[in-house]
Amino acid sequence: MEITRFSQAKPYEAPKHFDMRGLRLQGFDASSSSFAWTGLSHFLPGGGASMDASPLEKIYVVLEGEVTIELDDGATHVLKKLDSCFIPGGEGREIRNESNAVATMLVVMPYPETAS
């Protein structure tokens, strides 16, 4: 078993995110997980992620606060504490914290495929 203590979790930069601080909880340099990685995202008020689509599926779980997820088809959903969503690969999404409180979200994603 490999444990990542919250106090020792390392920050990481997420492309196209703003006013967000991410911590790597599992996978990549945090553990030897081979099927997925897990991050913890703290979105400051007004923070978020620009509209983007990746080939990778992802799971979001809101732990505190609320985030607005807008999909590339224009559908908008507000996720509150303990709400979660699955976003299939290829589906565009934008993330916004439209509140005045920090929003905390758990992110679970598979690893990107490596070029052969």
Q: Whole-angstrom Cα distance, residue 81 to residue 11? A: 23
Q: What is the mean pLDDT of residues 7-35?
A: 96
The pLDDT of residue 114: 63
List the chain domain ranges.
13-109
Q: State the sign of the Cα–Cα–Cα–Cα dihedral 46, 47, 52, 54.
A: negative
pLDDT tens-digit series, residues 47-90: 999 999 999 999 999 999 999 999 999 999 999 999 999 999 99
> Mean pLDDT across the chain, nearest whole number?
96
CATH T-level fold of 13-109: Jelly Rolls (2.60.120)
> What is the structure's pLDDT at 113?
79
Report d(CA 62, CA 33) in Å as an integer: 22
d(CA 102, CA 65): 6
Mean pLDDT on 29-38: 96
Which three-class secondary structure state does DSSP give residue 64? Answer: strand
pLDDT of the residue at 116: 46
Amino acid at 8: Q
Q: 3-class SS at 76?
A: strand
- Answering whether pTM is above 0.75, one says yes
Phi-psi region of 27 (alpha: psi -120 to 50; beta: other; left: phi over 0): left
